[in-house]
Structure formats: C-alpha cells, structure tokens
Amino acid sequence: DVTLIKISCVSMSDVDFSEYGHRLIHILRKEF
C-alpha cells in the first residue's frame, strides 16, 4: 500500500497532490 502511494505521488503533479491531500484531510476529519 505504501509503495502504491509513493508511485501515485510521483505520477501526480503538485496541484493534483495538494488537492488530493486536502480531500484526504477532509475525509480524515470526518472519520475522527
């Protein structure tokens, strides 16, 4: 799983990664 995340991070651009990061944080905030 970690390797997959690293590969996806490399393939994604800074803008896409930041947007994905914001969504991930939003989901985590909903979870906790």
Sequence ranges of the domains in the chain:
2-31
How much is the pLDDT for 26? 86
Rounded CA gap, 32 and 2, in Å? Answer: 22
HEC per residue, 1-32 = CHHHHHHHHHHCCHHHHHHHHHHHHHHHHHHC
**Is pLDDT above 70 for 31?**
yes
pLDDT in tens, 1-26: 677 666 665 665 666 667 777 888 88
Neighbours of 12 (CB within 10 A): 13
29 pLDDT band, cuts 50/70/90, is confident
- C-beta separation of 9 from 17 below 8 A: yes
How much is the pLDDT for 15? 60
Rounded CA gap, 4 and 10, in Å? Answer: 10
Could you tell me the pTM of the whole model? 0.37
